Amino acid sequence: MTNDRSDRKANLDSNDPTDHDVGLEDKKDTARSKRQRKTQEKSSATAEGGSDPATQDVGECEDLNDDTADEGETPNETEVLKDQLLRALAETENVRKRAEREREEAAKYGVSSFARDIVSITDNLQRALDSVPDFEGTENEDDPRIKSLQAGISLTQQEFETVLTRHGIKRIEPLGKAFDHNYHQAMFELESEDHAAGTVIQVLQPGYKIHDRLLRPAMVGVAKKSTESAKSDD
């Protein structure tokens, strides 16, 4: 009986409030130690990883802003390159057209100097034909030599004119037409009542043109009003 009471008293003594407070303090210390250890681990991880997560977020935002800025500048660079390309294509096209035009002009007018010298042959052929006397009504009218000479010169002249025409060289026929300073060269003026003033009434030397350019002007005589007609008009 006495022993049971002693045991209960011992148990009561063991449930002293002071012992409970000490246990709580130990638990708190343990929890605090765990938190500190976790904090240290996080710090170590941050040091090994390089930067704080918040700092990483800020860096990522800056990178995104830089990318956005680059994307904003890209269209400008594209427009500049497009403009340069269009200019280069236009310049290339202009050079091609210029070269093609020069090639065509060289093919058309490259023989102008040669043609200017060679057309004088037709003048000499015409002079030779004109120099053959007219034997009509004479005893030499039926002379075959005279006829063959005239026919030979005439055929040569016609063939020569055909060759010139084939190469774009054409004779200017100004007789009876109004004087044109672009194709005619006035050598003199003659009073004429049968023609209007400024009309070509005589051709001293025929002119020629190659395609649409003047090769040699025609030397002509131009009609003018007679003195009597001018007085009557006054």
In order, the DSSP letters of the chain are -HHHHHHHHHHHHHT-HHHHHHHHHHHHHHHHHHHHHHHHHHHHHHHHHSS-HHHHHHHHHHHHHHHHHHHHHHHHHHHHHHHHHHHHHHHHHHHHHHHHHHHHHHHHHTTHHHHHHHTHHHHHHHHHHHHS---TTSTTTT-HHHHHHHHHHHHHHHHHHHHHHHTTEEEE--TTSBP-TTTEEEEEEEE-SSS-TTBEEEEEE-EEEETTEEEEPEEEEEEE--HHHHHHH-
The pLDDT value given to residue 55: 46
Judge whether 234 and 200 are in contact, CB under 8 Å. Answer: no
Q: What is the pLDDT of residue 15?
A: 47
**Hey, what domains does the chain have and what are their CATH numbers?**
170-234 (2.30.22.10)
Supply the pLDDT for residue 200: 94
The span from the CA of 139 to the CA of 152, in Å, is: 21
Q: Which amino acid would we find at residue 158?
A: Q
pTM above 0.85, yes or no: no
Residues 6 or more apart whose CB falls under 8 angstroms from that of 182 comprise: 214
Task: Determine the pLDDT at residue 194.
Answer: 86
Rounded CA separation 44/33 (Å): 16
Local mean pLDDT, 10-residue blocks, the chain (234 residues)? 48 46 58 68 56 47 51 71 93 94 88 89 88 68 79 90 91 92 93 89 93 93 79 58
